[in-house]
Amino acid sequence: MTARLGPHLKASALVLPLVLFLALFFVWPIIAMLKQSVSDPVVHNTLSQTSAIAAQWNGKAPVPAALQDALVADIRATTDRQEMGAVVRRLNSAKSGFRTLMRKTRRAIRKTDGPINLGEVDKRWNEVAWWHTIAQASSPYTDRYLLAALDYGRDKHNQIVALPEDASANRTILARTFVISLSVMLSCLAIGLPFAMVIASTSGWLRNVLLAAVLLPLWTSLLVRTTAWFIILQNNGLINSALQALGITDQPIPLIFERTGVIIAMTHVLLPFMVLPIYSVLLSMPGNLMQAASSLGAHPIVAFLKVMLPLSARGIASGSLLVFMSSIGYYITPALIGGPSDQMISSVIAFYATESANWGMAGALGLVLLSITLLLYVVYGRLSAEKKGVA
């Protein structure tokens, strides 16, 4: 028995680093992101007495005195400023104004040990709306981030409602992200497939030069390439001055801060990911297949459609998938070259993570993006599996 287990153990020991790596840098962050997008523990944990009483409150005015006393007691008991900071950030994110309200209240509470009339500290405490926000935040789990990621929210009766169009545009931006990614994928395919075929049909130094033309940009920093495109595409840049000098246009064509520019730059950046997989598949294809087809009387186009295309389908599929998946997360290129209506979902995620420290929203948007991508991947898997069956 041990003799049989030996090789298995050794083999699993060899993949152990990979498993650990995946668990640490792939599985764990995704679980953390999942948790972040539905957990909402700060108010529940820090304002614990308030949360307990708020859970029983019917939400009607006047605000019960016990609730007010509990809030004062909770604030008094919290000495950790970072902990209280998280509470304030959470509340202010749901209702603007909690920052200054809580700052004023904390100052008043710090001054005395005795009972405090919150309504006298700030008259906003007399309004039920502020207490509703605390009550809604007091459960340790929430769906508000996931709802908000899809432009929904809960009204004061706790019903799910669509957010007003001018307040949230995540669905628009998500749709745009997929449209841009798809366009980039298609234009990469339109350039990459013929180019890969040309490389595969050459040999010697010419092949090396053509390959270098694909690989060199791949080794250049993304930021450098994007900035170069900025210089080329701008109104008095290379393209527009050449067009004007040739008399093709009088006015510069708007390329910069436009969708066209974004797709051009992203296509250039991602082209190697399309060319290389197709090229590697074409390499394994016997070079005389096309000649054989034409010797049998096939028109070159028919030969291409019936021989070349089906045989290189595997390369095209993996290239397209690579390009599409990479473009979904693009951030720098649309930010530098695109206009406001070309920003993709990652810029919204970055806003929540780096600007407003709202990790729940960032996690929820990431989760939505991940789910849609996985769904597309499954659809793609189905389609390509069916194709294989037919072939």
Partner 1 sequence: MKKWALLASVLALGAMSSASQARDLTITSWGGSYQTAQQDIYFKPFSEKVGKPVLDESWDGGYGVLQAKVKAGAPNWDAVQVEAEELALGCDDGIFEMIDWDKMGGEDAFMPAAVSDCGVGTIVWSLALAYDGSKLSDGPKNWADFWDVKKFPGKRALRKGAKYTLEFALLADGVPADELYDVLSTPEGIDRAFAKLDELKPDLVWWESGAQPLQFLASGEVAMAASYNGRITSINKTEGKNFKIVWPGSIYAVDSWVILKDAENKELAQDFIAFASQPENMAKLPEYIAYGLTNKEASSMVPDEYKADVPTTPENLEEALSLNIDFWIDNSEALNQRFNAWLAQ
Binding site for partner 1 (CB under 8 A): 80-82, 84-86, 88-89, 92-93, 96-100, 103, 165-169, 172-173, 176, 234-236, 256-257, 335, 339-341, 343, 348, 351-358
Quote the least distance from Cβ 264 to partner 1, whole Å.
17
Structure tokens at 300: 């070159």
Angle at which helices 65-77 and 98-111 cross, to 10°: 80
Quote the least distance from Cβ 36 to partner 1, whole Å.
12
Structure tokens at 6: 């030996």
Cβ neighbours of 316 (radius 10 Å): 18
Quote the least distance from Cβ 332 to partner 1, whole Å.
11
CA distance 363 to 371: 12
CA distance 160 to 179: 28
329-335-340-341 Cα dihedral, nearest 10 degrees: -30
- Count Cα neighbours of 5 within 13 Å in the Cβ-side half-sphere: 2
Q: Which residue has 């809604």 as its token pair?
A: 136
In the complex with partner 1, the residue whose CB is nearer, 229 or 352, is 352
Quote the least distance from Cβ 163 to partner 1, whole Å.
9
Instruction: For residue 326, give the amino acid letter.
Output: S
3-class DSSP state of 285: coil
**Across-strand partners of 154?**
160
CA distance 376 to 208: 36
Q: Which residue has 């394994």 as its token pair?
A: 284
CA distance 185 to 165: 30
In the complex with partner 1, the residue whose CB is nearer, 27 or 231, is 231
In the complex with partner 1, the residue whose CB is nearer, 273 or 352, is 352
Instruction: For residue 124, give the amino acid letter.
Output: R
In the complex with partner 1, the residue whose CB is nearer, 243 or 353, is 353
In the complex with partner 1, the residue whose CB is nearer, 177 or 318, is 177
In the complex with partner 1, the residue whose CB is nearer, 186 or 336, is 336
Of the candidates 366, 368, 360, the residue with the CA atom closest to the CA atom of residue 137: 360
Quote the least distance from Cβ 236 to partner 1, whole Å.
6
CA distance 340 to 362: 20
In the complex with partner 1, the residue whose CB is nearer, 55 or 357, is 357
Quote the least distance from Cβ 338 to partner 1, whole Å.
10
In the complex with partner 1, the residue whose CB is nearer, 99 or 387, is 99
